[in-house]
Chains A and B, each alone.
Chain A
Amino acid sequence: MLAAIGVGGVADLFAAVPERVRLREAPDLPPGVPEPEMLRELRALAARNRPILDRPCFLGGGMYRHAIPAAVDALQGRLEFVTAYTPYQPEASQGTLGAFFEFQTMICELTGMEVANASMYDGASAFAEGCLLATSATGRRRVLVSRGVHPHARAALRTATAHAGIEVEEVTLAGGSTVLPRSIPTDAACLALQNPNFLGAIEEVAPLCEAAHGGGALGVVSVNPIALGLLASPGECGADVAVGEGQPLGVPPNYGGPSFGFFAARQEFIRRMPGRIVGETVDRDGKRGYVLTFQTREQHIRREKATSNICTNNALMALRGAIYLASLGPRGLREVASACATTAHAAAERIFAIPGYAPLLEGPFFHEFAVRCARGVERVRAALAAAGIAGGIPLARFHPEYPDALLFAFTEANTPEEVDLLVETLRRVQ
């Protein structure tokens, strides 16, 4: 090969690299090991973690432990999906494109919205992009964001808007729910909220969206996709943009990533959406096929005027979401949602019957709620940890106004024995 190229050695191929910056020694990494040793080392490291798969877990806060159909792993793991890239050549990518088209359809059906994209990085970045869409669609520069929105989503929004000439104004909570603003400022692009919110409360989405519309602003709503098996969809509530964290749909928590974000909106905002969008069309013979479409929104064509800089998204995780939803179907999703809510409500009744534990909020919740711990948050957490229980999350980290509250989440994957152990452990805290 060197002879064909016409050079004497591999070093000649790097002649353009200035002599004095060429490495003389190997970089300071440990020496390489064969595959079995690498896997053995990683198994040993994994053993030093305490995963939540097979022990009582009541952690939530945006990521949840749900049962995942075995088919999700097997089908998503097909190397034809894993090792392809963005479907720039549609004839060679009908698998990925077809799956995205179906994914978009499922997200539209779940959210009640007219159009969806083929995924975002995660829920937090999808939320920030949803607010940015509202600013470009309205030409207004203020984002009203509920304090009930996930703290990471609010943080991502602050970072994304820090230098874009956009004001972020937080809307306070009362009783854990977003206060209906008395008036919407004339420069407000959107009212952005989360349902159920970070504290677990079910928000009054429809009146909040209506209030936003009354002031010429959009309603941007972040939703838990499992909750949509039971709760009114953003579309039904009049939202203009619906986003969310896709992890509950068949993705392990992965310590926070990768998961996927979903992004849906009213049809009229199609040209302002970020990310890849797949459309159906026909080939030369009139046969149905799928392509990436509305690509002129994107960075590879519009460069600095693109709707977003997003290029790579989280396609493979979105594929998991699609396979998960197709496995469950509408009845399965409703059953999962119902089991989450039923377990959470049964657990709440038992926990709040114990002296020293009181609900932080009085309003309706879905599968997550905050518990005020008169016996002391740290004591309770120590007891839970000693019992091998994962959760709850100390709310004070994000909401200093609630110093004595722990957030607990319940899903269909919690067994009766797990709930019993939680209740008993709470009861015994000294």
Chain B
Amino acid sequence: MRPDDRRYSATHEWARPEQGTYVVGVSDFAVEQLGDLTYLKLPPVGRKVRGGESFGEIESVKAVSELYAPVAGTIVEVNAAAPDALELVRQDPFGTGWLLRIRPEAGDGGFGKLLTAQEYGETLETH
């Protein structure tokens, strides 16, 4: 079961509220689809992103997937260890494999419009 302390985007990212910010990562489904990861590109701290805006890329040998911000705001922290320890993302995408932390500019940054774990799971079944 996917953790329900967070919400999901249709593009396979998740956001988890924590002390006025959102911790962001990719879903287990995205990681499985890509297979063995080879590369992760994360943005610099301080960059502002709109909801749905691309903030980075994740690659396997023969596929590349853009990463989209599930919520709008300012990037206040990135998981600097992740690009050099892709096994974290592969093995623990909901925990130690988190990618970045976003502080919303206004309101919830669009968090409320994201999918619940159950809703996200249902979108995958139609794949």
Chain A residues proximal to chain B, CB less than 8 Å: 271, 295-296, 301-302
Contacts and interface: CB of A to CB of B under 8 A. Distances in A.
B120 to A, nearest CB: 26
B39 to A, nearest CB: 7
Given A296-B39, A296-B63, 10 more contacts: A271-B39, A295-B62, A296-B38, A296-B59, A296-B61, A296-B62, A296-B64, A301-B63, A301-B64, A302-B64
Nearest to B59: A296
B110 to A, nearest CB: 25
Interface of B: 38-39, 59, 61-64
The dominant DSSP class at the B interface is strand
Nearest to B65: A296
Listed from nearest, the 5 A-B pairs whose CB atoms lie closest are: A296-B64, A296-B59, A302-B64, A301-B64, A295-B62
Most A C-beta atoms less than 10 A away, residue of B38, B39, B59, B63: B59
A302 B63 CA distance: 8
A102 B60 CA distance: 26
A295 B63 CA distance: 9
A271 B59 CA distance: 12
Contacts of A301: 62-64
Contacts of B63: 296, 301
Contacts of B39: 271, 296
B90 to A, nearest CB: 17
A219 to B, nearest CB: 25
A88 to B, nearest CB: 10
14 contacts: A271-B39, A295-B61, A295-B62, A296-B38, A296-B39, A296-B59, A296-B61, A296-B62, A296-B63, A296-B64, A301-B62, A301-B63, A301-B64, A302-B64
Nearest to A271: B39
A138 to B, nearest CB: 16
A83 to B, nearest CB: 26
A295 B62 CA distance: 7
Contacts of B62: 295-296, 301
Contacts of A302: 64
A135 B32 CA distance: 35
A271 B41 CA distance: 11
A52 to B, nearest CB: 46
A277 to B, nearest CB: 13
Nearest to B57: A296
Most A C-beta atoms less than 10 A away, residue of B39, B63, B64: B64
Contacts of A296: 38-39, 59, 61-64
Contacts of A295: 61-62
A414 to B, nearest CB: 50
Nearest to A302: B64
Nearest to B64: A296
Nearest to A300: B62
A302 B60 CA distance: 12
